[in-house]
Amino acid sequence: MKLADVIAELVKERGLDKNVLSEIVCEGMLAAYEKKYPGAVLQVKEDASSGELLVLIQKKVVSAVEDDLFEITLKKAKTIDSNVALNDEIWLPFEEKVGRIEVLRARQVIAKKIKNIEAMLVYNQFVGKQGHIVVGVIHKTERNGISVKLGEVLAFLPKALSIPGEKFAIGYSIRSLLKEVLVEPQGDNQLILDRISPQFLQGLFELEIPEVFEKLVEVKKVVRSAGYKAKVAVSSNDRNIDPVGTCVGIGGSRIKPILKELSGEKIDVFPWSDSLETLIKHALKPAIIDKVELSFDKKSALVFLDEDQRSFAIGKGGQNIALASQLTGVTIQLAKKENTAHRNDNEEEDIEREEEL
């Protein structure tokens, strides 16, 4: 068997190291011979001079052979090595062949080892990029997601991690968060992408807004309902920088590329506050809030607002208030704005409340 030709073809197809491939093919063929000849001590290696596959078997030197698979006579052994003695072990060329079943076994071993090496190369190349945004080209659309080429490596964006309603065209560039880098592929997928997580949106802020990248402006928290709305709380590490204005830009110039990337998903950007009451007011944007009353354990809040602000606070399908609750960590209840400065206990019990789930 001309091993050199097999190796050359695999190097061309896989782009792997020649010496590594040589070892893999030899290990695969050794597995095939060991399956065919159990108990035999064998070696398989590449003959450096001919480039052919060389199979060797170890035999014991004896005076009389009982099993020629494991033994060789002293007289015959001395024709190979004049220094050999009785009971020595000697390596000899093995001329026996393997059948179709054993060759299939060899192919399975070789394919598995090559796949493992390729997977480890991909893992080492991308594990440092996990949790960061990567740029790729849409390679193929499938029923459950799309394949994206990151250089020469394919990654997968599951439909469940795609923004609802967004369309993909083969050959177009796409940005995604590299969500997972698996040590071993699950099915055909080793690199898993994501476009719906808060981390993806935060990464876009870092890419599009220099002050965020330089940490002059800090993204304190992001929550999203992908395809509908996101809320981003920001603060400034420089008293001369307005964090919200910096992120939005003049006429929305800085936020617009991010909105385009998210297929028109709305983004509320507001200043972070260490005051939970103030943060709740900001988080319920675009609603105008009159007053916030926190419970004793600060796990729930009663929010007073005008009736015409209720629909803004709730949002489509209740998503605005749900996002505000998620960002603040507080269960929010809405109540009609108080019309008098003082109310007795009986009047307090008559306040109309509505809890949004």
pLDDT in tens, 291-314: 999 999 999 999 999 999 999 999
Residue-level pLDDT at 2: 52
Q: Which residue has the higher pLDDT, 5 or 24?
A: 24
* Alpha-carbon gap, residue 319 to 40, rounded angstroms: 70
CATH code of the domain covering residue 241: 3.30.300.20
* Alpha-carbon gap, residue 107 to 156, rounded angstroms: 28
User: Do 21 and 45 belong to one domain?
Assistant: yes
User: Do 338 and 306 belong to one domain?
Assistant: yes
Number of domain units in the chain: 4
Angle at CA of residue 116, ends 110 and 121, nearest 5°:
125
* Alpha-carbon gap, residue 302 to 325, rounded angstroms: 12
Last residue of a domain, one of 66, 92, 124: 124
Phi, psi angle pair for 254, to nearest 5°:
-90, -30
Residues 105-159 pLDDT 10s: 777 888 888 888 889 989 999 999 999 999 999 999 988 999 999 998 999 999 9
Provide the β-strand partners of residue 270: 233
User: Do 171 and 73 belong to one domain?
Assistant: no
CATH code of the domain covering residue 142: 2.40.50.140
Instruction: Mean pLDDT check: name the lowest of 54-63, 206-215, 222-231, 347-356.
Output: 347-356
CATH code of the domain covering residue 83: 3.30.1480.10
Kindly report the pTM of this predicted structure: 0.75
Whether 294 maps to a domain, the answer reads: yes
Asked whether 329 and 298 are in contact (CB, 8 A), the reply is no
User: Do 142 and 47 belong to one domain?
Assistant: no
User: Do 28 and 79 belong to one domain?
Assistant: yes
Residue-level pLDDT at 336: 87
Whether 219 maps to a domain, the answer reads: yes
Look at residue 353 and tell me whether its pLDDT is greater than 60. Answer: no
Look at residue 51 and tell me whether its pLDDT is greater than 80. Answer: no
Whether 277 maps to a domain, the answer reads: no
Percent of the chain having pLDDT more than 70? 90
Residues 6 or more apart whose CB falls under 8 angstroms from that of 164 comprise 226, 227
Look at residue 44 and tell me whether its pLDDT is greater than 50. Answer: yes
User: Do 47 and 61 belong to one domain?
Assistant: yes
Q: Which residue has the higher pLDDT, 233 or 186?
A: 233
User: Do 153 and 98 belong to one domain?
Assistant: no
Whether 321 maps to a domain, the answer reads: yes
Residue by residue, what is the 3-state secondary structure of 258-280? HHHHCCCCEEEEEECCCCHHHHH
Last residue of a domain, one of 229, 247, 272: 272
User: Do 205 and 190 belong to one domain?
Assistant: no
Whether 227 maps to a domain, the answer reads: yes
User: Do 173 and 203 belong to one domain?
Assistant: no
User: Do 65 and 115 belong to one domain?
Assistant: yes
Domain range for 250: 197-272
Last residue of a domain, one of 95, 124, 153: 124
User: Do 34 and 93 belong to one domain?
Assistant: yes
| Contacts of range 338-347, beta carbons closer than 8 Å, 24 or more positions apart | 338/290, 338/291, 338/304
User: Do 190 and 202 belong to one domain?
Assistant: no
Asked whether 231 and 283 are in contact (CB, 8 A), the reply is yes
